[in-house]
Amino acid sequence: MKTKAAIVEKQGGDLRIEEVDLRDPGSGEVRVRVEACGICRSDLHAIDGGESVRFPAVLGHEGAGVVDALGPGVETLAKGDRVILSWTPACGTCAPCARGDVHLCVKLRMSADPGGPMTWDGTELDRFMALGAFSEHVVVPASMAIPMGPTIPAPQACLIGCGVMTGFGAATNTAEVRWGETVAVIGCGGVGLSAIQGARVAGAGKIFAIDPIEARRKAALQAGATDALDADGGVAHVVEATGGGVDAAIECVGRSETMLDAFRAIRPGGRAIVVGLAMMADTLSIAPIMFLTERSIKGSTYGSANPALDFPKLITLYEQGQLDLDSLVSKTRPLAEVNEGIAEMREGQMTRVVLTF
Ligand SMILES: [Zn+2]
Ligand SMILES: [Zn+2]
């Protein structure tokens, strides 16, 4: 079929909306008519060349829509099912999948394997995170389309597909925040605000939000932070206020300095969780004597989530009013205004601009 997608032809380039060819879903695949797709910071990174993407590419990895065609052998989904796209293939057969770590599935790709379903004038298009959801339709394995039920609006639901799961899961799954614990979240964009909500839902006693931008600190308080601090002096304040550091600190920026801040913010025996995506060449320098007091630092991918289990839980929390997705959607724009949306995301004031179709 023909569909419309936003193509980025070269590093740093603007996106252009073009008609592309999308082959029918093959064995085990479904076609999804995309209804909404958030513009995530990783998309900006990909445009700038900070991720492994082959140009020309279709970005967009935070999508939701409706299944409109099934390939042979798909029994878990039906035409008309509303779904959130997940960027882990969750193949079910590799070693990580077998042990339950589907977020570490060996088939997970930033850059799709060659032989993908989308071409433009005969040239194959790469699809970021093997999704490429800045497009009216995508063809993906059925395991990457998670049912979302009839009620949640698509612009809110799509955020679960990346930013919300990543942040919320970093607090609940990776950091395993327990009730009454103290938590610091460094960086309060869409992921950080979701980490704050994860800590709140887990029952954290104190949640310190650290961000240099005042609008984000306000949003952090609204999301459930008990204290919002400027980046300048924030960590020192946290250590003092907790009498030696928080139980868990979650870094959602992607810079080595803020990762170090997360490590400095934790108490002896505390855990620092790194969510932010660093540049390939970055290094982190930690005085190893700090490990004498059993401080730990750990990465977190996709909120250590199993999307098939965790997306429905997040939808339930949304429906119960415990998870605020509405205020994460700063603005919606049609696909044709993708470049304007990207420019707004770059300014840093907006939590999420969501493209609607
Ligand atoms: Zn993302
Ligand atoms: Zn796997």
Q: Six-digit token pair at 37?
A: 């797709």
Q: Six-digit token pair at 306?
A: 């199993």
Distance from the alpha carbon of residue 108 to the mean position of ligand 2, in angstroms: 8
pLDDT of residue 51: 76
pLDDT of residue 49: 84
Using CA atoms, how far apart are residues 158 and 190, in angstroms rounded to an integer? 12
Whose atoms come closest to the Cα of 101: which ligand? 2
Residue range 80-94: mean pLDDT, rounded: 97
The pocket of ion ligand 2, defined by CB under 5 A, consists of 91, 94, 97, 105
Model's pTM, two decimal places? 0.97
37 catalytic per annotation: no
Whose atoms come closest to the Cα of 96: which ligand? 2
Q: Six-digit token pair at 240?
A: 């003092």
Using CA atoms, how far apart are residues 157 and 165, in angstroms rounded to an integer? 11
Amino acid at 64: A
Catalytic residue among 61, 105, 143, 194: 61
- Start and end residues for every CATH 3.90.180.10 domain found in the chain: 2-162+305-356
45 catalytic per annotation: yes
Residue range 331-336: mean pLDDT, rounded: 97
Q: What is the pLDDT of residues 259-305, one digit of tens each?
A: 999 999 999 999 999 999 888 889 999 999 999 999 999 999 999 99
103 catalytic per annotation: no
The domain made up of 2-162+305-356 has a fold known as: Quinone Oxidoreductase; Chain A, domain 1 (3.90.180)
137 catalytic per annotation: no
- Start and end residues for every CATH 3.40.50.720 domain found in the chain: 176-299
- Lowest-confidence range among 39-43, 108-112, 280-284? 280-284
Whose atoms come closest to the Cα of 102: which ligand? 2
Residue range 246-266: mean pLDDT, rounded: 97
pLDDT of residue 307: 98
237 catalytic per annotation: no
Catalytic residue among 42, 135, 256, 304: 42
Q: Six-digit token pair at 95?
A: 């070693």
Parallel, antiparallel or unpaired: strands 126-127 and 123-124: unpaired
Using CA atoms, how far apart are residues 293 and 296, in angstroms rounded to an integer? 9
pLDDT of residue 71: 98
Q: What is the pLDDT of residues 75-86, one digit of tens each?
A: 999 999 999 999
The pocket of ion ligand 1, defined by CB under 5 A, consists of 40, 42, 162
Distance from the alpha carbon of residue 28 to the mean position of ligand 2, in angstroms: 15
| φ, ψ (nearest 5 deg) of residue 200 | -65, -50
pLDDT of residue 299: 98
Class of domain 176-299: alpha beta
Distance from the alpha carbon of residue 107 to the mean position of ligand 2, in angstroms: 6
Using CA atoms, how far apart are residues 222 and 219, in angstroms rounded to an integer? 5
Whose atoms come closest to the Cα of 143: which ligand? 2
Q: Which residue has the tokens 């799954």?
A: 173
Catalytic residue among 37, 97, 162, 252: 162
Catalytic residue among 45, 105, 135, 252: 45
